[in-house]
Protein backbone atom coordinates (compact mmCIF):
# COMPACT_ATOMS: atom_id res chain seq x y z
CA UNK A 1 0.00 0.00 0.00
CA UNK A 2 1.20 3.51 -0.83
CA UNK A 3 1.12 6.44 1.58
CA UNK A 4 2.56 9.94 1.97
CA UNK A 5 5.47 10.45 4.32
CA UNK A 6 6.91 13.79 5.43
CA UNK A 7 10.47 14.25 4.17
CA UNK A 8 11.65 17.89 4.02
CA UNK A 9 10.50 20.59 6.50
CA UNK A 10 8.90 23.69 4.97
CA UNK A 11 11.72 26.02 6.12
CA UNK A 12 14.38 23.86 4.43
CA UNK A 13 12.37 23.77 1.18
CA UNK A 14 11.93 27.55 1.15
CA UNK A 15 15.60 28.19 1.85
CA UNK A 16 16.69 25.60 -0.71
CA UNK A 17 14.56 27.10 -3.49
CA UNK A 18 15.42 30.70 -2.56
CA UNK A 19 19.10 29.78 -2.72
CA UNK A 20 18.85 28.44 -6.28
CA UNK A 21 17.96 31.73 -8.11
CA UNK A 22 20.05 33.80 -5.68
CA UNK A 23 23.16 31.68 -6.30
CA UNK A 24 22.48 31.69 -10.06
CA UNK A 25 22.31 35.50 -10.05
CA UNK A 26 25.44 35.69 -7.86
CA UNK A 27 27.34 33.59 -10.41
CA UNK A 28 25.96 35.65 -13.33
CA UNK A 29 26.83 39.00 -11.70
CA UNK A 30 30.21 37.58 -10.60
CA UNK A 31 30.95 36.79 -14.25
CA UNK A 32 30.06 40.38 -15.23
CA UNK A 33 32.72 41.53 -12.75
CA UNK A 34 35.26 38.84 -13.65
CA UNK A 35 35.06 39.73 -17.39
CA UNK A 36 36.73 43.09 -16.63
CA UNK A 37 39.90 41.30 -15.43
CA UNK A 38 39.78 37.62 -16.42
CA UNK A 39 43.11 36.39 -15.11
CA UNK A 40 42.67 32.66 -14.53
CA UNK A 41 43.74 29.83 -16.79
CA UNK A 42 45.00 26.27 -16.62
CA UNK A 43 48.60 26.08 -17.83
CA UNK A 44 50.81 23.00 -18.04
CA UNK A 45 54.56 23.53 -18.67
CA UNK A 46 53.87 26.98 -20.09
CA UNK A 47 51.21 25.59 -22.45
CA UNK A 48 47.74 27.13 -22.03
CA UNK A 49 45.15 24.37 -21.81
CA UNK A 50 42.15 26.54 -20.95
CA UNK A 51 41.50 30.19 -20.30
CA UNK A 52 38.63 31.20 -18.00
CA UNK A 53 36.90 32.18 -20.26
CA UNK A 54 37.11 32.18 -24.06
CA UNK A 55 35.61 35.23 -25.85
CA UNK A 56 32.74 33.19 -27.30
CA UNK A 57 31.61 32.33 -23.75
CA UNK A 58 31.19 35.99 -22.78
CA UNK A 59 29.55 36.97 -26.04
CA UNK A 60 27.18 33.97 -26.05
CA UNK A 61 25.96 34.94 -22.55
CA UNK A 62 26.07 38.73 -23.16
CA UNK A 63 28.50 39.29 -20.28
CA UNK A 64 30.75 41.97 -21.79
CA UNK A 65 31.08 45.60 -20.62
CA UNK A 66 28.65 45.32 -17.69
CA UNK A 67 31.05 45.72 -14.77
CA UNK A 68 28.95 48.31 -12.90
CA UNK A 69 25.77 46.25 -13.34
CA UNK A 70 27.63 43.20 -12.05
CA UNK A 71 28.92 45.01 -8.98
CA UNK A 72 25.47 46.41 -8.15
CA UNK A 73 23.78 42.99 -8.36
CA UNK A 74 26.61 41.10 -6.66
CA UNK A 75 26.86 43.41 -3.65
CA UNK A 76 23.09 43.55 -3.22
CA UNK A 77 22.36 39.86 -3.57
CA UNK A 78 25.24 38.84 -1.32
CA UNK A 79 23.01 39.93 1.57
CA UNK A 80 20.26 37.58 0.44
CA UNK A 81 22.81 34.77 0.01
CA UNK A 82 24.30 35.45 3.45
CA UNK A 83 20.98 35.81 5.31
CA UNK A 84 19.42 32.77 3.64
CA UNK A 85 22.53 30.72 4.40
CA UNK A 86 22.60 31.85 8.03
CA UNK A 87 18.88 31.10 8.41
CA UNK A 88 19.48 27.61 6.97
CA UNK A 89 22.36 26.88 9.35
CA UNK A 90 20.46 28.18 12.41
CA UNK A 91 17.27 26.28 11.47
CA UNK A 92 19.20 23.08 10.75
CA UNK A 93 21.03 23.32 14.08
CA UNK A 94 17.96 24.17 16.19
CA UNK A 95 15.50 21.75 14.54
CA UNK A 96 17.87 18.78 14.79
CA UNK A 97 17.85 18.35 10.97
CA UNK A 98 21.65 18.50 11.16
CA UNK A 99 21.57 14.87 12.32
CA UNK A 100 20.55 13.79 8.80
CA UNK A 101 23.11 16.05 7.15
CA UNK A 102 26.39 16.08 9.04
CA UNK A 103 28.72 13.20 8.05
CA UNK A 104 29.89 10.75 10.72
CA UNK A 105 32.66 8.16 10.78
CA UNK A 106 30.73 5.76 8.53
CA UNK A 107 29.85 8.39 5.92
CA UNK A 108 33.15 8.25 4.04
CA UNK A 109 33.12 4.46 3.57
CA UNK A 110 29.45 4.66 2.67
CA UNK A 111 30.09 7.45 0.13
CA UNK A 112 32.66 5.23 -1.59
CA UNK A 113 30.10 2.41 -1.70
CA UNK A 114 27.49 4.79 -3.19
CA UNK A 115 30.01 5.94 -5.83
CA UNK A 116 30.75 2.31 -6.82
CA UNK A 117 27.01 1.62 -6.96
CA UNK A 118 26.33 4.68 -9.13
CA UNK A 119 29.15 3.63 -11.48
CA UNK A 120 27.53 0.15 -11.68
CA UNK A 121 30.64 -1.39 -10.11
CA UNK A 122 28.83 -2.65 -7.01
CA UNK A 123 25.38 -4.10 -6.42
CA UNK A 124 25.16 -2.95 -2.77
CA UNK A 125 22.24 -0.51 -2.59
CA UNK A 126 22.76 2.84 -0.77
CA UNK A 127 21.23 2.70 2.75
CA UNK A 128 17.51 3.61 2.91
CA UNK A 129 18.09 6.73 5.02
CA UNK A 130 17.07 10.31 4.27
CA UNK A 131 20.62 11.11 3.10
CA UNK A 132 23.35 8.55 2.43
CA UNK A 133 27.04 9.18 3.19
CA UNK A 134 27.74 10.72 -0.24
CA UNK A 135 24.84 13.14 0.17
CA UNK A 136 25.90 14.02 3.72
CA UNK A 137 29.40 14.89 2.53
CA UNK A 138 28.15 16.81 -0.54
CA UNK A 139 25.45 18.78 1.33
CA UNK A 140 27.65 19.65 4.30
CA UNK A 141 30.46 20.52 1.89
CA UNK A 142 28.28 22.90 -0.08
CA UNK A 143 27.28 24.74 3.12
CA UNK A 144 30.96 25.11 4.07
CA UNK A 145 31.62 26.35 0.53
CA UNK A 146 28.88 28.95 1.00
CA UNK A 147 30.61 30.17 4.16
CA UNK A 148 33.89 30.18 2.23
CA UNK A 149 32.37 32.33 -0.54
CA UNK A 150 31.09 34.88 1.98
CA UNK A 151 34.47 35.08 3.77
CA UNK A 152 36.63 35.22 0.62
CA UNK A 153 34.16 37.68 -0.91
CA UNK A 154 34.37 39.98 2.13
CA UNK A 155 38.17 39.70 2.06
CA UNK A 156 38.36 41.01 -1.52
CA UNK A 157 35.49 43.49 -1.05
CA UNK A 158 37.06 45.25 1.95
CA UNK A 159 40.75 44.24 1.95
CA UNK A 160 41.68 47.36 3.94
CA UNK A 161 38.98 47.34 6.63
CA UNK A 162 39.12 43.52 6.88
CA UNK A 163 42.88 43.25 6.37
CA UNK A 164 43.10 40.53 9.05
CA UNK A 165 40.65 38.34 7.10
CA UNK A 166 42.44 38.91 3.78
CA UNK A 167 45.74 38.00 5.47
CA UNK A 168 44.30 34.82 7.05
CA UNK A 169 43.09 33.76 3.60
CA UNK A 170 46.57 34.16 2.13
CA UNK A 171 46.43 37.76 0.88
CA UNK A 172 44.31 39.49 -1.75
CA UNK A 173 45.40 37.39 -4.76
CA UNK A 174 44.82 34.10 -2.95
CA UNK A 175 41.47 35.20 -1.56
CA UNK A 176 40.37 36.17 -5.06
CA UNK A 177 41.52 32.81 -6.48
CA UNK A 178 39.70 30.97 -3.65
CA UNK A 179 36.53 32.96 -4.36
CA UNK A 180 36.76 31.99 -8.03
CA UNK A 181 37.56 28.31 -7.31
CA UNK A 182 34.54 28.05 -5.01
CA UNK A 183 32.35 29.33 -7.83
CA UNK A 184 33.72 26.68 -10.19
CA UNK A 185 32.92 24.22 -7.37
CA UNK A 186 29.26 25.33 -7.31
CA UNK A 187 28.92 24.73 -11.02
CA UNK A 188 30.39 21.22 -10.65
CA UNK A 189 28.16 20.54 -7.61
CA UNK A 190 25.15 21.79 -9.57
CA UNK A 191 25.82 19.46 -12.54
CA UNK A 192 26.21 16.38 -10.30
CA UNK A 193 23.32 17.41 -8.01
CA UNK A 194 20.83 17.95 -10.83
CA UNK A 195 22.05 14.73 -12.51
CA UNK A 196 21.44 12.81 -9.26
CA UNK A 197 18.02 14.45 -8.81
CA UNK A 198 17.00 13.41 -12.33
CA UNK A 199 18.30 9.89 -11.65
CA UNK A 200 16.48 9.66 -8.30
CA UNK A 201 13.20 10.49 -10.02
CA UNK A 202 10.01 12.48 -9.68
CA UNK A 203 9.02 11.27 -6.20
CA UNK A 204 12.30 12.53 -4.76
CA UNK A 205 12.07 15.90 -6.58
CA UNK A 206 8.43 16.42 -5.63
CA UNK A 207 9.35 15.86 -1.96
CA UNK A 208 11.67 18.91 -2.14
CA UNK A 209 8.70 20.94 -3.45
CA UNK A 210 5.75 19.62 -1.41
CA UNK A 211 7.63 18.18 1.59
CA UNK A 212 6.14 14.68 1.12
CA UNK A 213 7.26 11.56 -0.68
CA UNK A 214 5.22 8.51 -1.59
CA UNK A 215 6.41 5.36 0.16
CA UNK A 216 5.27 1.75 0.30
CA UNK A 217 3.72 0.87 3.64
CA UNK A 218 6.54 -1.49 4.66
CA UNK A 219 9.07 1.37 4.17
CA UNK A 220 7.23 3.72 6.55
CA UNK A 221 9.17 2.52 9.57
CA UNK A 222 12.46 3.69 8.08
CA UNK A 223 14.37 6.54 9.65
C1 LIG B 1 22.03 25.66 -7.34
C2 LIG B 1 22.30 25.39 -6.20
C3 LIG B 1 21.79 24.28 -5.34
C4 LIG B 1 22.33 24.01 -4.14
C5 LIG B 1 23.51 24.74 -3.49
C6 LIG B 1 21.58 22.90 -3.57
C7 LIG B 1 21.85 22.33 -2.34
C8 LIG B 1 21.11 21.34 -1.73
C9 LIG B 1 21.25 20.91 -0.36
C10 LIG B 1 22.27 21.46 0.64
C11 LIG B 1 20.33 19.94 -0.13
C12 LIG B 1 20.04 19.24 1.19
C13 LIG B 1 18.92 20.05 1.84
C14 LIG B 1 18.50 19.62 3.24
O15 LIG B 1 17.75 18.64 3.35
O16 LIG B 1 18.89 20.28 4.21
C17 LIG B 1 19.60 19.74 -1.38
C18 LIG B 1 18.62 18.80 -1.58
C19 LIG B 1 17.91 18.65 -2.75
N20 LIG B 1 18.02 19.43 -3.89
FE21 LIG B 1 19.32 20.96 -4.18
N22 LIG B 1 20.61 22.51 -4.44
C23 LIG B 1 20.69 23.33 -5.56
C24 LIG B 1 19.88 23.29 -6.67
C25 LIG B 1 18.91 22.31 -6.92
C26 LIG B 1 18.14 22.18 -8.14
C27 LIG B 1 18.26 23.08 -9.37
C28 LIG B 1 17.32 21.11 -7.96
C29 LIG B 1 16.32 20.50 -8.92
C30 LIG B 1 16.56 20.20 -10.14
C31 LIG B 1 17.56 20.58 -6.64
C32 LIG B 1 16.90 19.52 -6.08
C33 LIG B 1 17.11 18.98 -4.82
C34 LIG B 1 16.38 17.86 -4.26
C35 LIG B 1 15.28 17.05 -4.96
C36 LIG B 1 16.89 17.63 -2.98
C37 LIG B 1 16.52 16.52 -2.00
C38 LIG B 1 17.44 15.36 -2.25
C39 LIG B 1 16.98 14.10 -1.54
O40 LIG B 1 16.04 14.14 -0.75
O41 LIG B 1 17.59 13.05 -1.82
N42 LIG B 1 18.53 21.33 -6.03
N43 LIG B 1 20.10 20.61 -2.32
Report the CATH number at residue 203: 1.20.950.20
For a ligand 1 pocket test, name from 16, 118, 131 the mutation site with the most ligand atoms within 8 angstroms of its C-beta. Answer: 16
For a ligand 1 pocket test, name from 22, 30, 208 the mutation site with the most ligand atoms within 8 angstroms of its C-beta. Answer: 208
Quick check: 216 pLDDT over 90? no
Overall number of domains in the chain: 1
Distance from the alpha carbon of residue 190 to the mean position of ligand 1, in angstroms: 9
**Using one digit for the tens of pLDDT, what is the confidence trace for 142-195?**
999 999 999 999 999 999 999 999 999 999 999 999 999 999 999 999 999 999
Q: Distance between CA 48 and CA 46 in Å, rounded? A: 6
Give the residue whose CA is nearest to atom 16 of ligand 1: 12
What is this structure's pTM?
0.92
The more confident residue out of 183 and 222 is 183
User: What percent of the chain lies above the pLDDT cut of 70?
Assistant: 97
Distance from the alpha carbon of residue 193 to the mean position of ligand 1, in angstroms: 7
Q: Ligand 1 pocket: which residues have CB below 6 Å?
A: 8, 12, 16, 19-20, 23, 101, 139, 142, 190, 193-194, 197, 200, 204-205, 207-208
Instruction: Give the DSSP per-residue string, the chain.
Output: -EEEEE-S-HHHHHHHHHHHHHHHHHHHHHHHHHHTT---EEEETTEEEEES--HHHHHHHT-TT-HHHHHHHHHHHHHHHHHHHHHHHHHHHHHSTHHHHS--TTHHHHHHHHHHHHTTS--PPPPSSSS-HHHHHHHHHHHHHHHHHHHHHHHHHSTTTTHHHHHHTTSHHHHHHHHHHHHHHHHHHHHHHHHHHHHH-HHHHHHHHHSEEEEEGGGTT--
Give the Cβ contact number of residue 104 at 10 Å: 10
Containing structural domain, residue 137: 2-219
Task: Please compute the mean of the pLDDT values over residues 47-62 and round it to a whole number.
Answer: 97
Amino acid sequence: MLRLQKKHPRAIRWMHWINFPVLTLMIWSGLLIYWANDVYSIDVFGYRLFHFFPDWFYSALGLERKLATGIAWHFTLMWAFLLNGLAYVVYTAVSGEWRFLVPNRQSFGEAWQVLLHDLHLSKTEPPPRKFNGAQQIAYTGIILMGAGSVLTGLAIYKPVQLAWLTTVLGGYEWARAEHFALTVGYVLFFLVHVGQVIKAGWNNFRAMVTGYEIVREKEVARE
